Amino acid sequence: MIPVLKVAALFVITALAEIVGCWLVLLWRKESGSAWLLIPAAVSLAAFAWLLTLHPVASGRIYAAYGGIYVATALAWLVLVDDGRLDRIDVLGGGLIFLGAMVMVGGHWRT
């Protein structure tokens, strides 16, 4: 796999760990779910923090690029898990943010 795709895949896995952890807390807090949901939530959020350490360059740049991948992953979560629908503003805004993240990833992580 080319380096840019490896970085992008790691970003997506990182975003999923963050989203799942937060979603489980939301289920517990807003949906009256079991407090046992907090255990996998904590594990998922710890995995998110650990995954951020696997990226190869300075953290500020990683967090900036990660933000774009996070937005795209969150929009996919909205459609696939929350059964929501994207409108044109979601697609346009998410697409612009994702494109910006890909410029950063492609410009800094090619070898």
pLDDT in tens, 96-110: 998 888 787 777 655
48, 100 contact by CB (below 8 A): no
> What does the pLDDT look like over 55-96, one tens digit per residue?
776 677 777 888 888 998 999 999 999 999 999 999 999 999
Radius of gyration (C-alpha) of the chain in whole angstroms: 15
CA of residue 31 relative to chain centroid, distance: 23
CA-based torsion, 46, 51, 52, 53: positive or negative? positive
Rounded to whole angstroms, how far apart are CA atoms 13 and 16? 5
Alpha helices in 1-111 (DSSP H): 3-30, 38-52, 59-80, 88-108
Domain count, the chain: 1
Decide: 4 and 105 in contact? Cβ < 8 Å: yes
Q: Which domain holds residue 63?
A: 3-108
Can you give the pTM of this predicted structure?
0.79
